[in-house]
Amino acid sequence: MVTVQFKTKIKNGVITIPKKYQNKLSESVRVILRVENKKKSSINYLDLLMANPIKVENFNFLTRG
């Protein structure tokens, strides 16, 4: 058994095997896919809360004094 690993993009449902591996593979292969999710940017909760403040009736802002 020959094992190869490479990264590629799926185009119209087709996975292209790099040329350097094509001669090592026969007609019958077993394919295991591992989907690599793009890293989501972490949520900055402070920015989220500042953009969407909670309205509270009779709220008094703190003051120095």
Dist. CA 4–CA 59, nearest whole Å: 64
Instruction: State which residues of the chain have pLDDT below 70.
Output: none
* Cα 56-57-60 angle, rounded to 5 deg: 85
Each domain of the chain, given as residue ranges in start order, spans 1-32
Taking the whole predicted model, whether its pTM rises above 0.85 is answered as no
Predicted local confidence at residue 36, as pLDDT = 79
| Residue 25 contacts residue 17 (beta carbons within 8 Å) | yes
